[in-house]
Amino acid sequence: MKKGKIYQSLSGFYDVKSDGKVYRTKARGNFRKKNIKPIVGDMVEFDITNVNEGYILKMLPRFNELIRPPVANTDQAVVVSSAVEPDFSFSLLDKQLVALEKQKITPIIYISKTDLLSSEKQIDFFKKIAKDYRTIGYDVILPVEVDDPHAINEVAKKLPHKQSIVMGQTGSGKSTLLNQIDPELKLKTGEVSKSLSRGKHTTRKVSLLTVNEGLIADTPGFSSFDTLDIKSNELKNYFPEFKRVSANCKFRECLHVNEPGCAVKAGVESGTILKSRYDDYLQEYNLLKAQKPVYNKKRGN
């Protein structure tokens, strides 16, 4: 029996890396009966006949799991947010940060395409965004020139010995960033990007690539998280700046919406909590509150 990590999943086969070697495996038949599906990033125990024939016998516990892309045990996410083309979106960034907080994945915010900004006023705007999100506690990397070597190196040095994903809107510069870190990836990311652009029902191969002594989930078609699996009364827990002051709220279970004596609303008024973040919270809270429960009915299990 061997122990390893699933590096690639495709058409019912799982490539598992163990002790420097990659073995092609299948899942045991009873996994399907138990509704267990291995995904990339899973740690597993498996048995082999040879490098091209083996079976996963046991799934080891995950510490987190992403649905889109299907990846387990991710340490951090590089959130590529473009300044322009497409335009920067506070709402999308905050939604992504909420989903990462929920899964206990460390975000690294990378603001791309700053070289396309045409005025000092625009540049100052993004410098303030970077400062504000750093104040919350997030790691923000803001390039100041084309192919900024310092910014690229800042991302690269966070990769060793971690499993990461790179996420952001289509066209935000995810592939460009990866290629700047490791030019050898250019062909691979280009090929996957083309295959994903053909339609949402295209078969998607998810794999882990070794980049700068770390692992990156090769999913350049991935754009955003859906936070609708969060209950409305839990949403507040995924805004770190809210959690820091919530002990000072008048009511213990304050939702920071209509309650009197709310420390979060006081923070917004005083400017210590970003109004844009609070507005995004209210918008998402109301969406989640209005969401009807979805009952997951599965047949044939």
Q: Give the domain ranges of the chain.
A: 2-61, 66-217, 232-290
| Predicted confidence (pLDDT) per residue in 173-206, tens digit | 888 898 899 888 764 444 444 444 433 433 457 7
Range 66-217: architecture per CATH: 3-Layer(aba) Sandwich (3.40)
Which residues are annotated as part of the binding site for GTP? 112-115, 168-176
Which residues are annotated as part of the binding site for Zn(2+)? 249, 254, 256, 262
Which residues are annotated as part of the binding site? 112-115, 168-176, 249, 254, 256, 262
Q: What pLDDT is stored for residue 87 in this prediction?
A: 92
| Predicted confidence (pLDDT) per residue in 135-146, tens digit | 999 999 999 887
> What pTM was computed for the model?
0.87
| Mean pLDDT estimate for the chain | 87
CATH number of 232-290: 1.10.40.50
Q: What pLDDT is stored for residue 76 in this prediction?
A: 97
| Predicted confidence (pLDDT) per residue in 14-66, tens digit | 999 999 999 999 998 888 888 889 999 999 999 998 778 899 999 999 999 98
Task: Please state the three-class secondary structure of the chain as a single string.
Answer: CEEEEEEEEECCEEEEEECCEEEEEEECHHHHHCCCCCCECCEEEEEEEECCEEEEEEECCCCCEECCCCEECCCEEEEEEECCCCCCCHHHHHHHHHHHHHCCCEEEEEEECHHHCCCHHHHHHHHHHHHHHHHHCCEEECCCCCCCHHHHHHHHCCCCCCEEEEECCCCCCHHHHHHHHCHHHHHHHHHHHHHHCCCCCCCCCEEEEEECCEEEECCCCCCCCCCCCCCHHHHHHHCHHHHHHHHHCCCCCCCCCCCCCCHHHHHHHHCCCCHHHHHHHHHHHHHHHHCCCCCCCCCCC
Task: Say yes or no: do domains 2-61 and 66-217 share a fold.
Answer: no
Superfamily of chain region 2-61: Nucleic acid-binding proteins (2.40.50.140)
